[in-house]
Structure formats: C-alpha cells, structure tokens
Structure 1
Amino acid sequence: MYICMYIRSARSKPADSKNMYIFKQMLIRVCSSALLFFDQQQRAKNRMSEKACCHGPGYATPLDAMRSGPREKLLYTVTIQPNLDEPHGDYLSTIDVDPDSPTYCQIIHRTFSNRKGNELHHSGWNACSSCYYVDKNAKSVPKRNRLILPSLNSDFIYVLDVATDPRKPEIIKTIDGDVLKSHNVTAPHTTHCLANGNIMISVMGDAQGYAKGDFILFDSDFNCVGTWTKGDRKALCGYDFWYQPYYDVMVSSEWGAPNKFRRGWKEEDLDDKTQYGFRLNFYKWSTQTLYQTVDLGLEGAAPLEVRFMHDPKRPDGYVGCGLNAKVFYFKKRTNSDEFDVKKVIDIPNKLVDTGSGTASEMGGMISDIIISLDDRFLYVNCWRHGDLRQYDITKPDEPKLISRVWLGGAICSDLPNVIVKEDKELTERPPPRYIKGRRLEGGPQMMQLSLDGKRLYVSSSLYSPWDKQFYPSMVSAGGHVCLIDIDVVNGGMTLNEDFFVDFGKEPYGPSLPHEMRYPGGDCTSDIWLANDS
C-alpha cells in the first residue's frame, strides 16, 4: 500500500533533479510490474478455484489418486449364489474394510438381485476419473453415484444407487436381457464410463450365444443407445477393454462364445478359433473402427484382463492369457498406429495327475492382472497353481518377478489324489494355506489394489460353472476374500493373517465372491485422460 502511495506521489510531483526523476520512473515500472504479477497470480487462483469447484469424480492424475486418495473403507464385492434354486440369487456384498470400525472385516449389507441364474461377474461406474475434467460451461457435473452390474448368463444389467447410503447400495433400475438381444448382443462383461457421459459395456455373444466381439452403449439415464463398433470389420470374440484417447486407441481382449464357456471348460473348444479367443483387437477411438488384430497363438489362448498403463500418455500395456498362463506386452510403434506384441511372462505348465490316473498339463490359469497406479508393479494370479505374483515393471518389456505368495490352488500337498509328475519351478508341492483356522479352498482369483498400492484384496471365485468343475470343495465350503500387505518401497508381499472374509456362512448358503470395487474408484475401473491445458 505504501509503495502505491509513493507511486502516486511520484507521478503528481515535479522531479527534484534529473537523477531523482529517473529513479522514480524506475520505481514506478518495478512497482507496476509487481502489481501486474500479483494480479495475474490472483486471476490464476480464481481460475483454479473455478476449476476445482466443478471437476468431476475421481482424481486429476493416477499419481494424484495414489498420493491424495483416502484409504478404502468399503469393498463392494460381486457375490454369486451357486445354488440355482435359491430365489434370492446373486448379490452385491458390502464389506467393511475400515480397521477402526467395530464391523471391520464383516459383510455389513447384501443387495440381492432376487433372480435365479444371473451370474453377476464384473461391475463398473457411471462416471470415473475419465470424467474429472469438466468444461466450465457444462450444464451439469458428473457424479460417481451408480454402480453397474452386468450378468454373464441372464444378460440382465442391474444399476445400483451407491450415493444415498454407500453402506447399503440399492437397485434402482433393472435392464432386461431382451434389451441386449434386440441389438443382437449377449453376455455383457466389462463396464467403463466415457467422458461424454455414456456407459460402455463389452459383450461376448450374439442373440443365439455364438461368439461376437462388440460393445453396447447406454446414456446417463441408462437408456440403450446401441452398439459401439462401426464398419464391417468386427472382432470374432469379446471380453475386456481399455481405452487410451491420447493415442486415439482402444484395445480389447477375447474369451469365447457364451455357448462354450457357460457349460464349463472343454479342451476341444480351442479347436474352433472363431468361437474361442486368441487375439488382441485394436480400435480407432475416434472412429470406433477395428483396424488391427494380433493373433497370440495357442500360448495366448483366452486373453482376458487387458490394461493400458495408468499414465494416459503411455502407449503400452499388458494382457494376461488364461489357459496357459502367459502375459503379453503391447506397445504402439513410433510414428505408426500399429502395435507390437510380445510374450514377456511365461509361467510353465505343470504335468499333474488330479486323480484320474492320467497326467496332463495344468496351466496356471491367469484370470486377472492389475497394475499399481504409479505403473511400477504388475500383479498376476495363477488360479490353478495357487500363487500370486508381483513383478517389477520399471522395464516394462522385461518384468522382474520379485515376490510370490501361495493362497491355495490345485496342487497343495494335502490333496491325497494329486500327483505332480513334472514341475519346472518347484521342487515340492506348496502346503495348504489357513487363515483363522479356515483352509483356503480354490485359488487366488480377482484382485483389487488400494490407491496407495499398500493393500491387495484377493477373492477366490472365477465363474461358478468353472468353480464347480475345478474347485467343487470351494463351492461347498464357500469362497473368501483375503488381504495381502505390499511393501511399496522395496517390493514384496505378505499375507495379512488378521483379515479374512468368509462366504461359507452366508444367510442363504455358501456363496462365491468375485470382483471388488471401492466407492471412490480403484485401480481397474478408473481410466485417466491426458490434460495439457
């Protein structure tokens, strides 16, 4: 204030001398520049405040989520009722994971579908971090307040309100399976929200249950918009997908025809490559057209979960291939839209006699992969072999195995009828794993990593027809969710012996937990968009 008064005084009084005049003029310029600087700073703060008050859900960047995101307190877990005669059907379990809560480690609410035979599987949001940046002239700001649960077997889609009472989600809309069939698609799987407010769900079949790779769109009110893919070229099969708009690309993976996988696994299903998945499919995001398909061969049979790196300016990612336990790395070529794909993790099959008297190859069954938000660690499950693996991916095309934990599996040392004839990794069979006196039946399946990367939640159920085929003891006893503590500094995993959620004593019989979500977003549902403004 005194500087400004001096400036006004200097402007109003004649100069005492030439030197004094020059000094005062210099002072005027300096002070004027300072005032201009402070004014610009204030304007910038106002713009930031304006932007902050109207941003959408989630976080500006993956690292922002990792550093600033709160610790998870609730875990929404898709839960399957294997008894197809039980009328309450599949449900969403709300698990309390707040260690300071009196109901820690307990299922505090169950949202029943009240329909038999749905086979709820994955879930997704109506809005996520891809909706974070909002135009200041937008009429409304997106909110993450709806959880979408598609059904693999019935083709129904359930929309849940998770905002009114996050501890007690409620079904507010049911989309009949006939809606999908009217667009000649079935078996909805992965849900991702889009920045334009629409919701996109991958599908795996046509109306007759044969293989078809496509995507179905819904608007923000959950009215069906139609299918997404344009042009004559279509993927043979469908499953998971992830988009990276900075490079104008989306990648999708393949499982198989609903007519095939719904009845359980049969090795001869691989004979028809039009009805079972072996490929990665790359689409132009802007034109919604398929432009590159990469056949991964028999090693890459059933490429399932696919992830781009979280950094929206990274042109690379991974896909886990289920049956033969391989992980492939894909990366966009420089100055080209094409992607190169190569195998970077090769988990050898084991030669095992499971009691039939004949030994056959047992693949690890990679059914999930997850990347930490800083793109430093990759986690890979082996549902059949029973181990969970942590890789350092600071050199992404050369993942380095740094830690393993055993969480059950099909070769445990206490299984009397199992004989491992050949194992290229182990010299002895792993012992069974117990937590709080309960033997872990099944193997490590779906994973969800905390935003800070320090806690990895692991469920046990893959898909109930396959659970019944490979792990009938888990179906009888019920599945579980356990917790792995992560050393984010040096790498390393340790089973948390104090955390265990048992689905064996549920109100309507043992049930099977599959995918898990946090109310505020997580490491597999949120996709970030590059922002250069």
Structure 2
Amino acid sequence: MAKAGNSCCRHGPGYASPLDAMKNGPREKLLYIIAVQPDLKHSDGDYLATVDVDPTSSTYSQVIHRTYTKAKGNELHHSGWNTCSSCYEVKDQDVVIPKRDKLVCPALNSNRVYVFDMSQDERKPVLYRVIDSTVLNEHNVSAPHTTHCMYDGTVLISTMGDRDDNAKGDFIQFDNQFNCLGTWARGDKQPDCGYDFWYQPHFDVLVASEWGAPKLFKRGFKMSDIENPKEYGRTLNFYRLSDHKLFQTIDLGTDGITPLEVRFLHDPLKAIGFVGCALNSNLYCFYRPNENDEQFVCEKVVDIPNKKLSVDGVETEIGGMMADILLSLDDKWLYMNNWLHGDVRQYDISNPKKPILKGQLFLGGVANRKPNVRIVDDKELDYEPKPVFMKGRQLEGAPQMLQLSLDGKRLYASSSLYSPWDRQFYPDMVAKGGHVVLIDVDTEEGGLTLNPDFFVDFGAEPNGPALPHEIRYPGGDCTSEVWLAQTANK
C-alpha cells in the first residue's frame, strides 16, 4: 500500500485531487487519438494522431501530426501514461521526480506494446520503444488491453488471452524503464476472461472486468459465442493490491454479459464504482456495504431495452452495445455510449444507486446507416432518430470512445470500436473513415448539444480512411487518473 510521504513542496505528475484537476486544470489544447489503419497491407500501419483542440488556433479541429507504428496488423486500442496522479506525492528522500511523458499503447492483435515519447515536443510525439510480442508470449498472455500507471511507479497492462488466444484474464507488469516484471496476479484463483481494470489504493482493491476469448472476438461478433461464460465473460473480479490475489468474483448473469469499461468513483475515499455491460446495455453499480468488510455487492441501476429493427423486411432485436462509460471528476455525472443504438447519454449519479437520465444525443446507429433498415419497436422513443451531418458529411457509425474535459464541459466522442466489428456493423464507416465530434455539456441542469464547429474527419487521412478509437490529453484526463487518499482534500 502507498503511504503518505513527508510534507514537501515538490510533487509528481497530475493533480493532488480530482477537484484540484477539475478546478485548476487547464483547458485541453491537444488530443492524442489512437488511429487504426483498416488497410492491413499498408506498411505504415496504425498511428497516434495529434489533434489541435485550441479554438484560437488556425489548425483547430485538425490532425496536426501522425506518429506511425510502421508495422502491419497491430490494432492499437487503448492507452495509458507511464505515470499519473497516483504518483503525485513525492517523498523528500526521492531523487527522481516522475514525469508524465510516455504514452503506453498495447496492440490488441499483434501483442506488441508501443511507447510514445512526448518529452521533446508534445505536439509531435516520437516512437520511443516497441516491446516485442515475444515478451507477452514468454509469460503466456496475449491481447493486451488497458494500461494504468500504478502508485508504485510501475505500469500494469491487462491481458485477455493466453499465447494461443484462448480466454485467460491476467495482467503483465513493467517497471518505469519498461522492463518486464512478469505477470501480476498471484494465487490459485484466476478469472476466465479479462478486459478493463481500475484500482483504489485506500481500500487495497483492484477491480477487473471481462470481454471474451481473443480467438472469438477477433473474428467478429457471433451471438452463439456468448453461450459459454468461460469464453465470453459476465463477472467482476476483485483483487487485493497488497498481495495481488483474487478474493471475490461476482457473477452478473445473462443481464451482465460482457462487462467492459469499469470505473471507481474518482474520490479515493469511496469504495463505489460502475461497470457497463455491453451486450444488453446494462449499467451496474458495485460498492462495499460495510467499509470494514472487503466484500462488494453489485446492483443493476440502468437497463436500456433492446430495439426491434426491420432489415430488408426481416425483424431482429439489437442491444445498445454499451462499450464505454466515464465519470466527471466531481463524480456527479456519468456518460455512456450505445454504439449500436447510436446515442450518448448523461446521467446524474449524485445517488450512485439511482442514476437519473439528464441528457441524450443520437449521432448515428445501425438503424439509420441504410434505407433498408428501420426501427419497428422502440420501448423508449416515439420517434426514429435521423441521420446527422457534419460539414456536409453524414456521420457513419456511432459514438464509441468518450473523453471529458477536466472541467466537465466538453465531451469528445470517436466512432470506432474494433476494426473487425466495425467492418461487421458499420462497413460504410470503414470505407469512408471514422470521425471525432465534440459535445457541449450542460453541467448545471444536464443536457448534451453537438458542437457544429468541431469535426475531425479521419476519412481524409494521408494513408486513406482510418478508424479513431481512444482519446487522451497530454496532462491526464478522466479515465487515466487515480488518486491517493492522503492528497484527497488538497
């Protein structure tokens, strides 16, 4: 467990507390966006795109730099910093102050890990290091997903498969020089699947979610795949940070199949969090009823009904595909996407167990991708959302990854989920390229409005149409930062 250091004026990266970041953090001027190259034959491969989001700049809403991986078949997906607000407090005896200057980007398909360096020019990152797939293979893990800086200065990456792409929930750890320290989990108990994770040092807990076996999801989505819970997950898994052991598993049942993005509240003194379950678009809240008992309970708090569609006259039902959630830094608002239904939602979570819908915005979806698809039964809406156009172009696909400004007033949304699934559900987006849009947020009463002046078109990229996924800011953001209890009130 991290312990409070001596009082000093020095500090590491990030902010003392979530509210410090919200009140004193600068307005974002750059975005780093993972861009997947759907042309698997292109030698430049996937890349990290730098986007100018300074409204006073002449290059506002444009990609101003691209750092290529120069390798095929990577599928860059999620990313994380080498250090963050969990390393904010620096002890007097420490010689080196941590610097947030490396972005760690695992490749979901190739099992490589790319490290980008922003230390010389944050507008023009350079490729610093490539950790070869043999490193993960040596430790019998594959499909690296979420990266978090840990409070001890190491970097932890969740993994979803073994070396043969069978389902296996695990983690691989690196020191601050990116030397591999091996797998992180200890003990005999091991979850069947892996995906995302978050941690709270004050409560000695790390929570992890589950997607499925890489050999299955890499070929696209098949409804029959979800029948085996050992190959398509439906559980939350809780580990002790102190001994790295799995101490509790909560089965969410069929309503909770594919629990993906998982978030603790930002407040480091609260053992409360949320997980979004993709298949049936259900949101669960997990918490400790008794702070002296390490056991968690989990309750479904939002249930988004399926929609019935007619495709060429044949009726079918689709769930929302809730593939991303995030929380504002004051823990008042929760945002989620429904990638198949096509909407972004804003919930007031002042009472975490009773979220209240306050904002909703439709920006695409499978129902309006082609004239032969229409909604025939919608238990929520009495109208059919219309296609949305930005700067003369129809938005193909739907909102996927979300990122919120530190002050909570601007919500960015990209359109790509995972290229094999993009091809399956939104082939026009793959052909024409994805996009990033900006949603203005009402943080007083609630509400979402599409900003008409901001549109990043990844269909016009130098190497052809690309697929934008996760979004980061140079100084940290709502989904990269973890705080320690000893700085919570600063």
Measured after TM superposition, the shift of residue 199 of structure 1 is 0.3
Q: 1:507 aligns with which of 456, 462, 476?
A: 462
Q: 2:96 aligns with which of 124, 140, 145?
A: 140
**What's 1:102 paired with?**
58
Q: 1:426 aligns with which of 381, 389, 396?
A: 381
Write out aligned runs for 1:275-286 (5 A). Answer: 275-286=231-242
What is the aligned-residue RMSD (CA, Å)?
1.1
2:486 is aligned with what amino acid?
N
The whole-number CA distance in structure 2 between the counterparts of 1:283 and 1:467 is 33
1:159 is aligned with what amino acid?
V
Measured after TM superposition, the shift of residue 420 of structure 1 is 2.1
**What's 1:204 paired with?**
160
Q: 2:302 aligns with which of 323, 345, 352?
A: 345
Matched, 1:391 2:347: yes
The whole-number CA distance in structure 1 between the counterparts of 2:153 and 2:301 is 36
2:281 is aligned with what amino acid?
A
2:457 is aligned with what amino acid?
D
Any idea what the Cα deviations from partners look like across 1:471-495, whole Å, max 9, x if unmatched? 0000011000000011112211111
Measured after TM superposition, the shift of residue 376 of structure 1 is 0.2
Write out aligned runs for 1:244-393 (5 A). Answer: 244-334=200-290, 335-355=292-312, 357-393=313-349
SS where residue 519 of structure 1 aligns? coil
Write out aligned runs for 1:50-65 (5 A). Answer: 51-52=8-9, 54-65=10-21
The whole-number CA distance in structure 2 between the counterparts of 1:168 and 1:62 is 28
SS where residue 294 of structure 1 aligns? strand
Measured after TM superposition, the shift of residue 196 of structure 1 is 1.3
Any idea what the Cα deviations from partners look like across 1:130-165, whole Å, max 9, x if unmatched? 000111101211110100010000000001101111
The whole-number CA distance in structure 2 between the counterparts of 1:332 and 1:143 is 34
The whole-number CA distance in structure 2 between the counterparts of 1:276 and 1:416 is 33
The whole-number CA distance in structure 2 between the counterparts of 1:339 and 1:333 is 7
Any idea what the Cα deviations from partners look like across 1:484-527, whole Å, max 9, x if unmatched? 01111221111100100000011111000000000000000111
The whole-number CA distance in structure 1 between the counterparts of 2:302 and 2:119 is 40
Measured after TM superposition, the shift of residue 85 of structure 1 is 0.9
The whole-number CA distance in structure 2 between the counterparts of 1:446 and 1:184 is 29
Q: 2:453 aligns with which of 491, 498, 502?
A: 498
Matched, 1:225 2:181: yes
**What's 1:159 paired with?**
115
Matched, 1:440 2:392: no
2:310 is aligned with what amino acid?
D
The whole-number CA distance in structure 2 between the counterparts of 1:260 and 1:314 is 36
Q: Rg bigger for which structure? A: 1
**What's 1:489 paired with?**
444
Q: 1:452 aligns with which of 404, 407, 419?
A: 407
The whole-number CA distance in structure 2 between the counterparts of 1:514 and 1:132 is 28
1:437 is aligned with what amino acid?
G
Measured after TM superposition, the shift of residue 465 of structure 1 is 0.2
The whole-number CA distance in structure 1 between the counterparts of 2:206 and 2:129 is 29
**What's 1:30 paired with?**
none
SS where residue 366 of structure 2 aligns? coil
Any idea what the Cα deviations from partners look like across 1:450-489, whole Å, max 9, x if unmatched? 0000100000000000000000000011000000011112
SS where residue 346 of structure 2 aligns? strand
**What's 1:34 paired with?**
none
Any idea what the Cα deviations from partners look like across 1:167-194, whole Å, max 9, x if unmatched? 0000111000111010000000000011
SS where residue 22 of structure 2 aligns? helix
Q: 1:123 aligns with which of 67, 79, 83?
A: 79
Return structure 1 stretches of 4+ with deviation > 4 angstroms: none
The whole-number CA distance in structure 1 between the counterparts of 2:228 and 2:472 is 35
Measured after TM superposition, the shift of residue 435 of structure 1 is 1.1
The whole-number CA distance in structure 2 between the counterparts of 1:358 and 1:272 is 27
Task: Give the number of the structure with larger relative contact order, counting CA–CA contacts within 8 Å between residues 6 or more apart.
Answer: 2
Unaligned runs of 5+ residues in structure 1 are 1-46
2:280 is aligned with what amino acid?
N
**What's 1:236 paired with?**
192
- Which structure's residues are more often helix, by fraction? 1
User: Percent identity over the alignment?
Assistant: 58
**What's 1:114 paired with?**
70
**What's 2:3 paired with?**
none
Measured after TM superposition, the shift of residue 353 of structure 1 is 2.5
The whole-number CA distance in structure 2 between the counterparts of 1:410 and 1:74 is 31
Q: TM-score, normalised by structure 1?
A: 0.89
SS where residue 469 of structure 1 aligns? helix
SS where residue 485 of structure 2 aligns? coil
The whole-number CA distance in structure 2 between the counterparts of 1:141 and 1:493 is 40
Any idea what the Cα deviations from partners look like across 1:267-293, whole Å, max 9, x if unmatched? 110111111110100111111100111
The whole-number CA distance in structure 2 between the counterparts of 1:394 and 1:428 is 30
After alignment, is 306-315 or 133-142 more displaced?
Answer: 133-142
SS where residue 314 of structure 2 aligns? coil
Q: TM-score, normalised by structure 2?
A: 0.97
The whole-number CA distance in structure 2 between the counterparts of 1:297 and 1:60 is 38
SS where residue 359 of structure 1 aligns? strand
1:377 is aligned with what amino acid?
W
